Structure 1
Amino acid sequence: MAETGTYLYAIAQDVGHPLPEEVAGVTGAPVRAITHEGLAAYVSPVPLEEFGEEPLRRFLEDLDWVGGTARAHDRVVEAVAKEAPTAPVRLVTVYSSEDQVRDLLRRRHDDLAEVLDHVTGCREWGVKAYAKPSEEAPRAEEAPEETDSPGTAYLKRRRASLRGREDAWRLAARRAEDIHTTLASISVACHRHRPQDPRLSGREETMLLNGAYLVAEDRREEFVAAVDALRGEEIEIQLTGPWAPYSFTSVDLGPTRAETLDAP
């Protein structure tokens, strides 16, 4: 029989009932809860010939494998988050046995409980703001005159275009700051991620804001309405969510052991 490890998806408050049967793990195996004093760790068995430390290094170079694993991981996390306050665990966190997971719940019980208390009744929303391209008319003081030579006229138009674009960027950056400040005031907590490179975002426009906001469910409609009210001509806003609170449940699970791998 092939050796197996224990894949950990999330830690949540124990609600006393299992996930729906149709929720399957990264290899299609059933997901079960390991419980300890009000906490539940959601796990499934995985073959170490695929998820062991050495073979995993090879699989992590396969983008199709990583993408499929990430989607399955997220499906489990979202299913757990619908049932109880949840702390998602990093992708591909594998322990050698369920006993190690039980030991984790015992050792880090108070820290984990505190994190879950913080996100109780809340969900994460993502807000991205992009600068819209702007073609500014030349400023009056820089507009070419009839007496200008062709070269001088070109330089004036060029300077006016650059200044117009700089003004547009500054305006868009100020709007992004205003958006973040407004949404943060409605949120329990917020976090600004680094703007994504266009190659990752899939958009040509520059990303000015990549924010995550932990919003209480009773302020959900207020938050969404605020996003809509902040939309404008000079900046485009993209709203995603609600999600499990990935950005607000970072917990150090302790030093990894030889048989435990936290993927980067």
Structure 2
Amino acid sequence: MKHPAPAAHAQTQAPAPDATATYVFAVCRGTRAINTADLTGLPGMPGGGQVRLLASGTLTAVVQTVPAADFTDEVWQLRLSDRQEIERYARAHHEAVSAAAARGPAVPLPLATLYLDDERARGVLGDEAARFHGALKRIAHHTEWGVKVYRPPAPPEPAVSAAAARPGPPAPGAGLAYLNRKRGVHDRRERSREEALQVAESVDAELRDLAAESRRLRTHGAALTGEQRVHVLNATYLVAADRADELRRAVGSLRERTGAQIELSGPWVPYSFVGGV
């Protein structure tokens, strides 16, 4: 699942015990397809009311009334430290955004975007209507695809010969030979790294030609992924829906031509290309 952006508008002050807030998942054009959408099957945020539509002029937001106490800054920071819990909230957010996107262009808002009430949410939609319409125009008939490129595992350390492993004084020149072997491994690793970075640049350049927009993201270290392979490209591309097959073929061709480990994920709702609305 493509994760929503981090929390944006968590409540900073402790609300009254029975206070509620308006949670906004996504913003769409106020088309008939959106305004007649049946959202009754969506669970939404835990503890919240029915996911519903909130119209404001030519825009319609997918919203839910939620307990304000569940989204204070303190509560949300604790939730962020619980991987399973934050995954539950992120999945609920993504399901609502995806339901809207299935009926037309939808601007996904960051996880935990809250307003005091419906009127405050409507006010924001009205004030920011031009920006929302600009984002909707940009992502219409496009989806987001993620691409990751990894370099091969590093060469193994030089083996210790049986003679070198025996006790006793080292053979003449053994130390120099060992250092040369170590230097050779280091040089091969550097060449492998440089070659992998060149492949990453060539992959990105070719896929950018297919995309309307692209973004380079931070690569993940082995400690974060729990893997031994090294991440050299983490990018996302906004691709027209009618070019999706072309993108898949391009990635397949790049795998064959470069021998690189290339992962393609998607299509996703264009979380990365809505301009921070």
| TM bracket (short chain) | 0.7 to 0.9
The answer to whether the aligner puts 1:18 opposite 2:45 as a matched pair is no
The CA deviation at 1:134 is 4.5
Structure 1 unmatched ranges of 5 or more: 139-146, 253-264
The one-letter amino acid of 2:204's match is H
Residues in 1 aligned to 2:73 and 2:183: alpha-carbon distance in whole angstroms = 57
Tell me the equivalent position of 1:8: 24
CA distance in 2, matches of 1:110, 1:51: 28
Question: Quick one: which of 137, 140, 145 aligns to 1:117?
Answer: 137
Structure 1 residue 159 displacement after superposition = 1.3
- 2:251 equivalent in structure 1: 227
Q: Secondary structure at the match of 2:110?
A: strand
**Contact 2:39–2:51, Cα closer than 8 Å, also in 1:** no
1:77 CA drift (Å): 1.1
- Aligned partner of 1:80 in structure 2 is 100
1:218 alignment partner in structure 2: 242
> 1:132–1:110: structure 2 CA closer, same or farther, 3 Å change rule?
same
* TM-score under structure 2 length normalisation: 0.81
**Alpha-carbon distance between aligned partners in 2 of 1:167 and 1:57, rounded to the nearest angstrom:** 43
1:199 counterpart residue number? 223
2:198 alignment counterpart: 174
Is the partner of 1:92 in helix, strand or coil?
coil
1:93-112 superposed matches below 5 A? 93-112=113-132
Superposed, which structure 2 residues align to 1:26-41 within 5 Å?
26-27=45-46, 29-41=49-61
Q: Supply the distance in 2 between the matched residues of 1:212 and 1:176 (Cα, whole angstroms).
A: 13
Q: Does 1:246 align with 2:265?
A: no
* 1:194 Cα offset (Å): 0.8
Structure 1 residue 235, shift from structure 2 partner: 2.4
Deviation track 1:45-80 (CA, whole Å, cap 9, x = no partner) reads: 111121244543444443332221111111111111
Shift of the 174–43 alpha-carbon distance from structure 1 to 2, 3 Å rule, reads same
Q: TM-score, normalised by structure 1?
A: 0.85
| Rounded Cα–Cα distance in structure 2 between residues aligned with 1:11 and 1:121 | 16
Pair 1:34–1:186, CA change in 2 (3 A): same
Q: Runs of 5+ in structure 2 lacking a partner?
A: 1-16, 159-170
Report how far residue 165 of structure 1 moved. 1.3
**Residue by residue, what CA displacement relative to the aligned partner does 1:226-250 show, whole Å, maximum 9, x if unpaired?**
0111115652111111000011013
Distance between the aligned counterparts of 1:97 and 1:49, measured in 2?
14
